[in-house]
């Protein structure tokens, strides 16, 4: 019931419109926190984990941001619903793979969530549309401070917040933004961007985190170091780097439009043509083609109105979302590809290419 | 002037509708003939070739089928016009490469033509829409007999008609048909077909004769032997083989439609989507995609009405036709690709996929 309610409500970050959203889809921050003098989830016994779950959720439930929040324990969740929350970026793949005494609390507007007994006792997350890392930081800090007043955190004055994995030691913070960079990818400038990111202690990865590729020209940028710098400094640096990257992306798009307008129109047109006429559409191919349609819309080759809902469309194309929205029977991957083609055709069929005029 | 008139008139075989045209586009017969006791064009001196041209065209001009015919000597033809006639299958590439005292006479309805001083003194051709080899044979026999009454042919009672190349010795006849075989090609049955053709002394080649590939799933079937069998026997055999092939092609299409209807719809839809939305379209890609649209129309996935004019469209897509119809300035291959995309979009834009309903 609660899960149904959550899934029927689009998250705020999916639909809110932001000026710079054309390039930056979302800004996310997550904090790794642990309860003092308590074994990390990976080392804890089953009973200890149950106790942690009790203590952690009890505290989280009293947070202002979690008023009326959803709370799910993994052992009570259907496989499909876990997958749905992964696709919505509300839980991690790692959490989805866990069982008893692991779970998640999600705020009513789905902007904040807390995972319990993932790699750490708490993984607090805030997700906002567009480039809003600073706002996400303000939001998450409030939750963090409030939680700290109720739970004694594992903290060392030399090392900072103690975490299960040393890579999170210190601030325990991972800030990230999801960007659509077709211009820089097509003009082959990503190596340069990766190098610059590396020098600033940031990493660039694919749509679903580590080890995934930049399907649909979507990449995630996140900070690498959690030691030695304060959170506001890291966020300020990332904010500047991403703003700069948006600028470069726009320049690359303009350069494409100026240098080879027809080649670009051709690619956008072909993508649109396939998406509106295919009968079978695998996720990866769909995302790749939608990237060109999105690029075309941002350059006014297609009705820019389609950008408004395209992030929700991208969610609706994901396997678990198709399973949930389209059928009560278990679907094969082949059937999902057919349903995906229907969804895309219906969505994009309402728009038209303006480049043929 | 005359060339303009010819090019502005579509040939009868391009537009006439035939029931079996869906698979067999055209039936063609050509006869190689030479003047008795006269050196073949390749061995003749310039003066001898001039004399042959005089004698041959004088005789041809009096033929009933050539009343009001067009006659062009190659040395007076622009390069572009030669290419146009090649694309219309009215002259061979070989003739287009020749110069003084070589040329062609084309009947008013463009159904019959005679090339002079190509490899042989005369190459008489008849071209009909659909599977009409027998009718083409009747037509060409009339021209041949009439010409023989005016010109002493090089003929040997043992060997038959003498020709420049031994491969044409005997009947001097090459009968051929152009077929659209997407079903057999997709279901990978062409090897079987090629073997059967080989056993019956027939060869299968691509769209523009020897050494070309089956672009757009279009193939040419022709007889290989010109010795030892009478012309009516050869034509009867070819007619039977091609009728049988049409049957097999229809079975293959039905098999595709039954076995993997969605895969087929998907391919037809994607081809249609690209053709109606691309801005740059090379000839080969266009022909490949049009093949699927044609297949889709024949299976009622697309308005079958588009089949009516699609053969003219295929001609209009050829480089020299685009050059002639679209611009008075010499066009680069890149510009032709852009104009080709426009032509296709305008033509197919009038039709719609019915498979989305």
User: Is it the case that residue A356 has pLDDT exceeding 50?
Assistant: no
CATH architecture of B2-252: 2-Layer Sandwich (3.30)
Helix axes B319-326, B79-87, angle to 10 degrees: 120
If you average pLDDT over every residue of chain A, what do you get? 89
Question: Each residue of B301-357: pLDDT tens digit?
Answer: 888 888 877 888 888 899 999 998 888 888 999 999 999 999 999 999 888 776 544
How far apart CA B90 and CA B123 sit, in angstroms, is 11
If interface means Cβ-Cβ distance under 8 Å, which residues of chain A face chain B? 262-263, 265-266, 269-270, 272-280, 338, 341, 345, 353, 355-356
- For B174-207, what is each residue's pLDDT tens digit? 999 999 999 999 999 998 999 999 999 999 987 6
The pLDDT of residue A16 is above 60: no
pLDDT at A149 over 90: yes
Tell me the nearest-neighbour CA distance from A234 into chain B, angstroms. 45
Q: What is the pLDDT of residues A247-281, one digit of tens each?
A: 999 999 999 999 989 999 999 999 999 999 999 99
CA–CA separation, A67 and A60 (whole Å): 10
Q: Indicate the residue of A262, A279, A338 with minimum beta-carbon distance to B280.
A: A262
**Mean pLDDT (whole number) for A22-30:** 91
pLDDT value for B345: 93
Which tens digit of pLDDT belongs to each residue from B211-227? 556 788 999 999 987 77
- Rounded to 10 degrees, the C-alpha dihedral A103/A108/A111/A114 comes to -20
Neighbouring-strand partners of residue A178: A26, A220
pLDDT the model gives residue B7:
79
Which DSSP string do the residues of A171-229 spell out, in sequence order? Answer: T-EEEEEEEE-HHHHHTT-HHHHHHHHHHTTEEEEBTTBTT---GGGEEEEEE---SSS
The answer to whether the CB of B113 falls within 8 A of the CB of B107 is yes
Would you give the DSSP letter of residue B226? -
Give the residue on A whose Cα is nearest the Cα of B345: A356
Residue B282: pLDDT over 90: yes
pLDDT value of residue A8: 80
Q: What is the mean pLDDT of residues B284-303?
A: 91
- Burial per residue of A112-123, b for 16 or more beta-carbon CB atoms within 10 angstroms, e otherwise: bbbbbbbbbbbb
Instruction: Name which of A282, A297, A176 is nearest A226 in CA terms.
Output: A176
Residues of A within 8 A of B262 (CB-CB) are: 279-280, 338
Taking residue A197's Cβ as centre, other Cβ atoms within 10 Å add up to: 22
Q: What is the pLDDT of residue A357?
A: 44
Cβ proximity of A193 and A262 under 8 Å: no
**pLDDT tens-digit map of B5-16:** 887 877 766 665
Which residues, 6 or more positions from B351, have their beta carbon under 8 angstroms from its beta carbon? B302, B303, B305, B306
Q: Where are the domains of chain A?
A: 2-252, 260-348
**What DSSP letter does each residue of A19-85 carry, written as one string?**
GGGGTEEEEEEEEEE-BTTS--TTTS-HHHHHHHHHHHHHHHHTSGGGTT-EEEEGGGS-HHHHHHH
Q: What is the mean pLDDT of chain B?
A: 89
How far is residue B125's CA from residue B66's CA, in Å, rounded to a whole number? 12
Q: Which of A309-313, B69-73, B228-232 has the highest mean pLDDT?
A: B69-73
Residue A13: which pLDDT band, with cuts at 50, 70 and 90?
low
A278: nearest CB among B273, B276, B338: B273
CA distance B332 to chain A (A): 15
- For residue A180, how many other CB atoms are within 10 A of its CB? 25
Residue A236 confidence class, pLDDT cut points 50, 70, 90 = very high
Q: What is the mean pLDDT of residues A16-33?
A: 79
State the pLDDT at residue B134. Answer: 95
Nearest CA in chain A to B272: A277
Average pLDDT for residues A216-239, to the nearest whole number?
89
Q: Among positive and negative, which fits the CA dihedral B190, B191, B195, B201?
A: positive
Question: Contact at 8 Å (CB) between B56 and B35?
Answer: yes
Q: Is B303 exposed, middle or buried (0-12, 13-18, 19+ CB in 10 A)?
A: middle
A64-122 pLDDT, tens digit per residue, is 999 999 999 998 888 889 999 998 889 999 999 998 899 999 999 999 999 999 999 99
ipTM of the complex model: 0.83
pLDDT at residue B294 is higher than 80: yes
pLDDT at A225: 76
Are the beta carbons of A279 and B269 separated by less than 8 Å? yes
Distance CA A194, CA A190 (A): 6
Going from the C-alpha of A44 to that of each of A48, A104, A123, the distances in angstroms are 6, 18, 17
Cα gap B102→A87, rounded to integer Å:
71
Q: Strand (E) positions, chain B?
A: 24-33, 70-73, 103-106, 112-116, 122-129, 155-156, 160-161, 173-180, 202-205, 218-223
Instruction: Give A266's DSSP letter.
Output: H
Stated length of chain A:
357
d(CA A316, CA B307): 38
Long-range contact set of residues B196-202: C-beta below 8 Å, sequence gap at least 24: B196/B241, B197/B221, B197/B241, B200/B237, B200/B241, B201/B225, B202/B238, B202/B241
Q: Which of B262, B274, B279 sits opposite A338 (nearest CB)?
A: B262
pLDDT 10s digits, A40-64: 999 999 999 999 999 999 999 999 9
Q: How confident is the model at residue A206 (pLDDT cuts 50, 70, 90)?
A: confident
Select from A117, A116, A111, A223 the least CA-distant residue to A170: A223
Task: Quote the pLDDT of residue A208.
Answer: 53
The CA-to-CA distance between both ends of chain A, in Å, stands at 49
Which structure tokens are listed for A112?
Answer: 């904040």
| Alpha-carbon gap, residue B319 to B343, rounded angstroms | 12
Judged by DSSP in three states, B174 sits in: strand
- Which chain A residues are within 8 Å of B332, Cβ to Cβ? none
Split at pLDDT 50, 70, 90, the class of A338 is very high
What distance in Å separates residue B353's CA from the closest CA in chain A?
8
Q: Per residue in B32-88, pLDDT tens?
A: 999 999 999 999 999 999 999 999 999 999 999 999 999 999 988 888 899 999 988
Q: How far apart are CA B158 and CA A172, in angstroms?
A: 98
Q: Which residues of B touch A338 (CB under 8 A)?
A: 262
State residue A328's pLDDT score.
82
- Residue A140, pLDDT > 70, answer yes
A355 burial via Cβ count (<10 Å: 0-12, 13-18, 19+): buried
Please give the Cα distance from A328 to B75 (Å, whole number): 74
Tokens of B9: 């008139």
- Cβ neighbours of residue A168 under 8 Å, at least 6 residues apart? A32, A120, A161, A174, A226
**What is the rounded CA–CA span in Å between residue B341 and residue B280?**
5
Measured between CA atoms, the residue of chain A closest to residue B353 is A277
For residue A193, give Cα distances in angstroms to A187, A197, A233, B310: 12, 6, 20, 48
Could B279 and A272 be called an inter-chain contact, meaning their C-beta atoms sit closer than 8 Å?
Answer: no
Mutate to test the interface with A, among B257, B260, B269 (most CBs of A within 10 A): B269
Q: Are A204 and A194 in contact (CB under 8 A)?
A: yes
In the prediction, which pLDDT does B328 show?
A: 83
* Residue A219's pLDDT band (cuts 50, 70, 90): very high
């Amino acid at each position: 019931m609660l899960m149904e309610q959550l899934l029927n409500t689009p998250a705020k970050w999916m639909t809110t419109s932001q000026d710079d959203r054309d390039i930056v889809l979302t800004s996310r921050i997550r904090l790794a926190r642990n309860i003092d003098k308590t074994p990390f989830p990976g080392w804890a016994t089953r009973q200890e984990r149950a106790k942690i779950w009790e203590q952690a959720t009890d505290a989280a439930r009293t947070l202002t941001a979690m008023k009326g929040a959803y709370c799910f324990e993994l052992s009570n969740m259907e496989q499909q619903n876990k997958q749905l929350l992964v696709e919505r970026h509300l839980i991690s793949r790692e959490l989805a793979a866990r069982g008893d005494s692991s779970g998640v609390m999600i705020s009513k507007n789905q902007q904040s969530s807390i995972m319990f007994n993932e790699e750490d006792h708490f993984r607090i997350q805030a997700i906002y549309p567009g480039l809003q890392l600073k706002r996400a930081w303000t939001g998450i800090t409030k939750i963090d401070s409030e939680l700290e007043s109720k739970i004694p955190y594992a903290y060392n004055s030399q090392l900072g917040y103690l975490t299960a994995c040393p890579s999170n030691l210190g601030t325990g913070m991972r800030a990230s933004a999801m960007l659509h960079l077709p211009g820089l990818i097509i003009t082959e400038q990503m190596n340069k961007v990766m190098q610059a990111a590396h020098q600033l202690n940031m990493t660039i990865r694919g749509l679903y985190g580590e080890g995934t590729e930049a399907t649909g020209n979507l990449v995630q940028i996140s900070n690498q170091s959690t030691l030695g710098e304060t959170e506001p400094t890291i966020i300020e640096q990332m904010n500047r780097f991403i703003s700069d990257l948006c600028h470069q992306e726009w320049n690359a798009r303009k350069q494409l439009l100026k240098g080879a307008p027809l080649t670009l129109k051709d690619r956008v047109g072909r993508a649109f043509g396939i998406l509106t006429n295919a009968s079978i559409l695998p996720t990866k191919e769909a995302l790749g083609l939608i990237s060109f349609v999105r690029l075309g819309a941002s350059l006014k080759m297609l009705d820019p109105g389609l950008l408004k809902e395209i992030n929700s469309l991208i969610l609706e194309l994901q396997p678990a979302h198709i399973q949930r929205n389209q059928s009560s029977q278990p679907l094969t991957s082949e059937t999902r590809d057919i349903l995906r083609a229907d969804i895309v055709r219906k969505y994009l069929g309402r728009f038209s290419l303006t480049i043929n005029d």
